[in-house]
């Protein structure tokens, strides 16, 4: 997994409410490590979703392909 990816995974786990977990935050992190070992961990999707959820409603755009957020920030 590496230190950087582990730090991101830990940050993601720390953003979740206790009710989110089926077992515990440690169990969730353990599952992320197992997925990373299997090459099935895709934290970029989770980070993107967290970022989108933190944006004001008017920045959320229309979804894939029609997203205004990138254009609002000058991205092409």
4-42 pLDDT per residue, tens: 999 999 988 888 888 888 888 888 889 899 999 999 998
Which tokens sit at 51? Answer: 């970022």
pLDDT at 73: 53
Q: How far is the first Cα of the chain from the last one, in angstroms, to the nearest whole number?
A: 31
Q: Which residue has the tokens 């995974």?
A: 9
Which tokens sit at 57? Answer: 């409603």
The reported pTM is: 0.60
- For residue 40, the Cα-to-chain-centroid distance in whole angstroms is 14
pLDDT at 34: 94
Sign of the CA dihedral 3, 28, 36, 53? Answer: negative
pLDDT at 36: 93
């Amino acid at each position: 997994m590496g230190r950087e990816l582990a730090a991101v995974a830990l940050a993601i786990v720390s953003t979740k409410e206790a009710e989110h977990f089926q077992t515990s935050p440690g169990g969730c992190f353990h599952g992320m490590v197992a997925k990373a070992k299997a090459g099935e961990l895709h934290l970029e999707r989770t980070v993107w979703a967290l970022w989108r959820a933190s944006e004001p409603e008017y920045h959320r755009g229309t979804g894939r392909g029609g997203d205004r957020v990138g254009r609002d920030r000058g991205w092409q």
